[in-house]
Amino acid sequence: MLVRPGAQVWIDVFVPRGDPRFREDVLESFAFLGKAWRAGLAAVIGAPLHSLAVVAGRTGKAMPWSAKACFAGLGAGEILLDNRKVVGISQRRDRSGAWFHSMAMLDFDPGELPGLLDLSEAERHAAGARLAA
């Protein structure tokens, strides 16, 4: 993850076990936060709700570059705007509940992150192309 001042907005949420939003099914548990991001983004950027999609729990997918650049994959609850990922969400659990870490990109240069990774020139180009897609 590349972090730069002003380039992203982070929202972290803790859901304790026993809260109505807590789900034992890990993939289902992302839904409430994805829906909240979707509604918030629609209001802030003035986009129609139908242009923002929430990735359904079992439809997320790893992509060739998602092991090195998490924004290259799609996960449950994440938000797409016109089929481009704009919000990423991760989760950490323990006995007390689930922590959700989420981030929306405000400024994104798809070539910047691959340029910082230990990759060959061909890999750097391929990663940049995937992140730009």
Question: Angle 77-104-113 (CA atoms, 0-180°, nearest 5)?
Answer: 110
Asked if residue 20 has pLDDT above 90, the reply is yes
Residue 47 lies in a domain: yes
Residue 122 lies in a domain: no
Residue 125 lies in a domain: no
Residue 127 lies in a domain: no
Q: Model's pTM, two decimal places?
A: 0.81
> Residue 51: phi, psi to the nearest 5?
-85, -10
Residue 15 lies in a domain: yes
Residue 41 lies in a domain: yes
Residue ranges making up the domain that contains 21 = 8-108
Lowest mean pLDDT among 44-48, 82-86, 88-92, 129-133: 129-133
Residue 80 lies in a domain: yes
**pLDDT tens-place string over residues 23-33:** 999 999 999 99
The 10 Å Cβ neighbour count of residue 72 is 20
Residue 94 lies in a domain: yes
For the chain, how many structural domains are there in total? 1
Asked if residue 65 has pLDDT above 70, the reply is no
